[in-house]
Every structure is written in C-alpha cells, then in structure tokens.
Amino acid sequence: MTPNWEVEKVDADSRLARVFSPSNIALSKYWGKRDLTLNLPTNGSISVTLKDFGSFTTVEFHENFSKDRLILNGKEESHSELALIPPKVKSILDAVRERVPGKKQYARIQSWNNFPTGAGLASSASGMSAIAYGAAKALNLNLPPVKISEIARVGSGSACRSIFAGFVEWTRGEFADGSDSIAYQLSPTEHWPLKAFIAVVKDEKKEHLSTDGMELTRKTSPFFDSWIASAQQHLKEFRQAILERDFQKLSELTETNCVRMHACAMASNPSVLYWNSKTLELMQKARELRKNGVPVFFTVDAGPNVVFFCEASAATRVRKELSQDMSIRLLSTEAGEGTRPFDAKEWL
Ligand code: PMV
C-alpha cells in the first residue's frame, strides 16, 4: 500500500516533487563535528544505504505560500512560537532557492518516515536528503548528486550519504568551506547485497540528540582524539574489506568502530550513554552466532537499537534466532538504492 503522507492536499499550481529517500547505517561512524553550521566531520565515515526504510516526501513551492512549513508524520513541526521550520531545514531550502533566479517562493514540505523517528535509526539522514533532493527537483534544478549531497549535509551530516546507493563513503575533508568533505559511492548494491536486521529495542525519542552527544563527546571525553585517529586510520581497511567482500574483516572493523565510538561517548561528562541492557545482550548475540559460524555482525547508532548485517545466505537463520526474542521488534531490509523520485507503482 502506498502511504498517504500528504495530509494537506497539494496545490494544483505548485511546483512540486515527490521523492523517497532511504536511511543509511554507518559501519564506520561519523562522531564529531569540526564545523557545527556546515556539519563538517572530524572523521570520515562509511555506510550502507537501506532499501526499505526512509522518508516519503513531497516538497512544494507556491507563490501564495506565506512561510515555509514542515509537516512531519502528519504533524506540523515548528521551531519556535513564531512557528518557524527548524533552521537546518531552512538552510537546505535557502541553498536550493538561491540557485533559482527571480522571486523566492516559500515551501510546504510533507514528509513521512516508515520507521520510528528519533530512535537512533537516522531519520534525519533520510528526511534531510529527501528535502534537498525534492526541493532541487521541484524547482527543476539539474544539480549533480554530489551537490545535492552537499546541500543535504548541512541539514544532517549523515544525510549526505543517503543520496547514493550501496556502500557509501563520506570523506572528512580539510577545507573550512566543506568543499572537499563529500560523499561518493564506494560500491553499488549488487556488489555485496548484505541483509540488515534492525532490532528495535525502544521506539521512544533518544536521550541525547546526535549533535549534542557529539559535542559533549568532543568537548569532554578524554578519548576523543584517539577515537578520531582510530576511525580515520581504519577507513582504508574498511574500503578494502568491502571491495574484497571480506566478511570476517568487515565484522571486526565494524564492531570495533562501533564499540570505540560508544566507549568514547560514554567517557564524556556527563556520560553520553545510548545502550541499555538489551543492547548489550543483542551485541553478544551477534558474537555468539558468529562464533558458531553464522556470518553476522552488529552495529549501534545513537540509540539503544542494534543493527545486524549478515550475508544473504544467513538471513533465514539470523531472522529465526532474533525473532525468538519477544522483547524486540524486528525490522528487516537490505542494501539498496539512494534518494530518488517516488514512483507510486514501486510500492503497490
Ligand atoms: O547525521 P546525524 O546528526 O544524524 O549523526 C549520525 C551519527 C551516527 O548515526 C551515530 C553515525 C553515522 O555516521 O551515521
């Protein structure tokens, strides 16, 4: 069934685009900003774009609109009493609008996530990339994907990776204007069609927003510099493990990266702690399965949920093992395509 996320009817004379943008899960994580406004990272990262989970978004510009609006999951999102849209979303719209000559028009954005918002499943990655891509398309701008990715990054760092399919790297870059901090496809989905299982431990909003968690970590964790050095140093090995489809190597790298990121965050003051006892139990489960010859590994983002990646051949076994646990909600997907126009037929 096609989801109906347009809770307000679109205007017949609007310039509009409907898009779907997937979320992505980092194997090598972005944790630390060297520029808060541009969302420039202290370290490079590598992710897998998820096929089925993301944001269905309509971006609509009209001369009669009197302000920008964002309707997220059927509810108006307003940043202040003046009912302004979140500043990061406005930055994306402005970056697109400034490329179009003539009178600027306000936008109405209607977006719906087909997975829990704010539970560490990077809803900002899919949401912000959908808005960047949708706004450019609605205004008929023929921007290259790398440009749209750069615009999306200002909304949320991880959003710059969702534009692309399969395995995606986002480089740290050195320049202050961010022009060399770009995302690109490392290898397409078909190269290694890994399966992903997301064990949703808790659907509630997370305790620390990722930006706050990152800043607290950068400012107060004694391990921050070692985390960054280790994350940067491992990128080459990550690339190689992916290109060679070396599952054992990718498992070790991903789990080490995840634990180091969280250990560094936990050592902040006050502690940035995303895990609960279930998270730990699930991490152990992945290790136990792997010890028994099942090709599966875990990673955890800024929340308690655990993401399992496995070879397609092990998917039935992993599903069986995880679905015995009644205290989690299990979502499953695989590596997939990046941001794209939404074709209703695809989902019927
Ligand atoms: O882009 P943000 O602000 O949603 O931060 C993403 C942070 C992690 O998901 C934990 C890591 C990553 O690289 O996606």
What confidence score (pLDDT) does residue 123 get? Answer: 75
What confidence score (pLDDT) does residue 64 get? Answer: 95
* Both structure tokens of 325: 């646990």
Distance (Å) of CA 150 to CA 86, 115, 178, 274:
18, 25, 8, 28
Ligand 1 cavity residues, CB under 6 Å: 26, 29-31, 45, 122, 124-125, 156-158, 210-211, 301-302
The answer to whether 95 and 38 have CB atoms below 8 angstroms apart is: no
What confidence score (pLDDT) does residue 118 get? Answer: 47
Nearest alpha-carbon partner for 242 in 180, 314, 300, 189: 189
pLDDT digits (tens, 9 = 90+) for 45-87: 999 999 989 999 999 999 999 999 999 988 888 766 666 889 9
What confidence score (pLDDT) does residue 209 get? Answer: 82
pLDDT confidence of 207, banded at 50, 70, 90? low
**Positive/negative CA dihedral, 322, 310, 167, 190:** negative
What confidence score (pLDDT) does residue 83 get? Answer: 63
Burial class (CB in 10 A: 0-12, 13-18, 19+), 311: middle
Q: Which is more confidently placed, 95 or 85?
A: 95
What confidence score (pLDDT) does residue 127 get? Answer: 95
> Whose CA is closest to atom 8 on ligand 1?
301
| pLDDT greater than 90 at residue 258 | yes
What confidence score (pLDDT) does residue 197 get? Answer: 96
The residue written with tokens 């695809």 in the block is 346
CA atoms within 13 A on the CB side of 22: 25
Mean pLDDT score, 11-36: 96
* Both structure tokens of 252: 């070790």
Residue 270 CA from chain centroid, whole number: 25
The answer to whether 318 and 296 have CB atoms below 8 angstroms apart is: yes
Distance CA 276, CA 296 (A): 21
| pLDDT greater than 90 at residue 206 | no
Nearest alpha-carbon partner for 278 in 317, 323, 328, 322: 328
Q: 331: CA distance to ligand 1 center in Å?
A: 19
Q: 104-118, 219-233, 240-254: lowest mean pLDDT where?
A: 104-118
Predicted structure pTM score: 0.95
| pLDDT greater than 80 at residue 298 | yes
Terminal-to-terminal C-alpha distance of the chain: 5
Residue 325 CA from chain centroid, whole number: 26
Q: 12-26, 73-87, 262-276, 288-302: lowest mean pLDDT where?
A: 73-87
For a mutational test of ligand 1's pocket, the pick from 27, 31, 34, 261, i.e. the residue with the most ligand atoms closer than 8 A to its C-beta, is 31
**Ligand 1 atom index nearest CA of 124:** 4
| pLDDT greater than 50 at residue 229 | yes
pLDDT confidence of 122, banded at 50, 70, 90? low
pLDDT digits (tens, 9 = 90+) for 107-121: 999 999 987 654 456
The answer to whether 274 and 208 have CB atoms below 8 angstroms apart is: yes
Q: 29: CA distance to ligand 1 center in Å?
A: 7
Using left for φ > 0, alpha for ψ between -120 and 50, and beta otherwise, residue 223 falls in alpha
Q: 208: CA distance to ligand 1 center in Å?
A: 12
* Both structure tokens of 240: 């190689």
Nearest alpha-carbon partner for 72 in 38, 39, 105, 118: 118
pLDDT digits (tens, 9 = 90+) for 143-190: 999 999 999 999 999 999 999 999 999 999 999 999 999 999 999 999
